[in-house]
Every structure is written in structure tokens, then in C-alpha cells.
Structure 1
Amino acid sequence: MNVVSTLALRRLTAQDNAAIAAVIRQVSAEYGLTADKGYTVADPNLDELHPLYSQPGHAYWVVEQDGKVVGGGGIAPLACSEPDICELQKMYFLPSARGQGLAKKLALMAMDHAREQGFKRCYLETTAFLKEAIGLYEHLGFQHIDYPLGCTGHVDCEVRMLKSL
């Protein structure tokens, strides 16, 4: 018997706060991305992402598989930077959601939203541990840069990338 799962990509709601925080924590633990290194798990807003991504210029989407949040990603203005630069943020997917093109779809949706908001460039930070993510970002046209932009607080994210929108 073939079981078909249902997938949905939708905007974050307040009811999703705990579920997406759990996804981020689980994936971070899987890759050894600990809070003491300044990764996303150290973000003081991690348990309350909805209010953060409800602000102007911000947006966050979750991926739901059979009614359960299995991933997400967002876009926001890059703090302490030029006003035309946004940041692709908090792209995390559980193993069950990987390899299905969902991260690509979400990233493209986020960049379309950023263009609509008037952003001209999109920045991101990640770590070399996330080889699959880096491959996706390169495929999407992000270029590696040698210096950090803005003030993200992610001091151990040694991979920095930028894309013109």
C-alpha cells in the first residue's frame, strides 16, 4: 500500500511558534550547531518567531507534512546594514522534509517576497557543516563573499553569501 503524505507551505502563525522552535533545535543538534557558538539556537526570539516575522519587511513560512511542522525559513531586513539588503534566515528542515525541493521552493518564495518589499540584495550566513544547504544556495545564484554584512550575531557562521535580487 502506498501512503501519500500531504505537504503545505504557508505563512507562520502564532500557533506554530513551539513547533518551528523544536524543528530548529532538533536540526541544530543533528549538526552540532550549539548555542554557545552563536548559532540560531542562541536567538532570544526563537520561541516567539511569529511576533518577529509579523513586522514590516519580515516574513516566515513553515512546511507542514501531514499536519506537522517539519521545516521553515524566512526573510527579514539585514540588521545594521544598507536598507536594500535583506537576510534569508532560519532555514531548517527535518530529515523527512529534505530532498523534495521544499527548501528551494521556500527560498524562491522568500526572495520573491523580498523583491516585492523593495530589497535589491539578499544575504545569508551558514556554516560549512551544512553542505547541502550551501549547494542549494549556490544553485540559487548566491555568491560567496569574504566578509560579514550587518550585525547578525552569528559569529561562527563562517560561510557568507550574497545574491542580487
Structure 2
Amino acid sequence: MQIREITEQDNQAIEQIIRRSLESFELNIPGTAYFDPQLGSLAEFYKQQINSKYWVVVTDQAEVVGGVGVGRFGQNPDICELQKLYLSPAVQGQGLSKELMRVALDYAAKHYKFCYLETFKKLQAANSLYLKFGFRQLEQGLEESEHNACDAWYMKEL
């Protein structure tokens, strides 16, 4: 397995992983990443954003099996957002989400003071991972959020 920056050739694969994951939890609803207009063109989207990147996990057979992104949150230059951390079911439980988190947070620490994220309480494995990485749960989401369906929010000082 290799973690590398996303390319245009990866767009369709990571879009399918994200959509299938959200569908599996019945989270293919408005106010989630499922309806993000840039979901089918993440490589191009992240290239256009300042201090933003998206990484994919690729197997030895060149199959994209997951990814994670970091992007500036709103208008505050000190806060980034951990975005779109998803893995294919076939590779879950192998520690890849931890590897993706390390890559994303190492990058974020070079450009931001805080990292914010939004998720759902029902995604228990994800919530547990965020706590292990030192995120603290917030009572409510930050203003400027585009994912108003989320019901769990976290912040970490970098």
C-alpha cells in the first residue's frame, strides 16, 4: 500500500468509495459530502485551494482504496478541516485510517493552528479514531459549515 497525492485518474474511484460508504450508513442525504459539487473532481478541486491537499491509498495493483483531505475552513486562515476520510470496506481494520490521519495532520500542522472536522455520532469507529488523535468534541459545529446534517464536531490544536 502507498499513500500519495490524488491525481485526476483517481477521481472516479474515490468518489465511488465515498458514496458507497455514506450509502452503507444511510447518510446519502443533503448536508453531507454525498452532495458536494466537487466530489467527482477532487484532484482538480484541491489543486485550486490554498494550503489544501487530498491523498489516496493505493494498493500494489494500483487500486485506490481510500483517501483523506485537508483544506482551509471558511475564512479563518488558522483553521483547516480534515475532509473526506473514507476507506473501502475491504481494507478497513488494517490501520490505514491512522496512516492517512498522520499524513493529513503532519501537513496541516505546517499550515494551520487548528484542525476541525465534522462527522456523525453513528460512525463510532471514526469518532474513536478522532479522539485517539487528540481531537476534542465540540458542542456544535463551527459557522460556515457546508455539512449541516452532521451531528458530531471535533477540534484539535496542531
Mapped to 2, the partners of 1:32 and 1:93 lie a distance apart of 16
In the alignment, what sits opposite 1:142?
A: 135
* Candidates 39, 45, 67, aligned match of 2:62: 67
In the alignment, what sits opposite 1:113?
A: 107
Query: Match of 2:36, as an amino acid?
Result: D
The structure number with the bigger radius of gyration is 1
Residue-by-residue CA offset, 1:14-60 (whole Å, 9 max, x unaligned)? 11111110110111111111133x11011011001111111221100
Aligned to 1:124, the other structure's residue is in SS state strand
Using a 3 Å threshold, how does the CA distance of structure 1 residues 135 and 96 change in structure 2: closer, same or farther?
A: same
- Provide the TM-score with structure 1 as the length reference: 0.91
Residue-by-residue CA offset, 1:72-120 (whole Å, 9 max, x unaligned)? 010000014x210000000111111211111111111111111112x00
Moved over 3 A (4+): none
In the alignment, what sits opposite 2:51?
A: 57
Instruction: Give the paired residue count.
Output: 156
Contact 1:52 1:58 in 2 (8 A): no
Mapped to 2, the partners of 1:24 and 1:16 lie a distance apart of 12
Query: Match of 1:79, as an amino acid?
Result: G
Tell me the CA shift for residue 147 of structure 1. 2.0
Contact 2:68 2:85 in 1 (8 A): yes
In the alignment, what sits opposite 2:126?
A: 133
Contact 1:78 1:150 in 2 (8 A): no
In the alignment, what sits opposite 2:33?
A: 40
Unaligned runs of 5+ in 2: none
* Candidates 70, 75, 93, aligned match of 1:99: 93
User: Aligned residues: percent identity?
Assistant: 40
Aligned to 1:35, the other structure's residue is in SS state coil
Q: Aligned-residue CA RMSD in angstroms?
A: 1.1
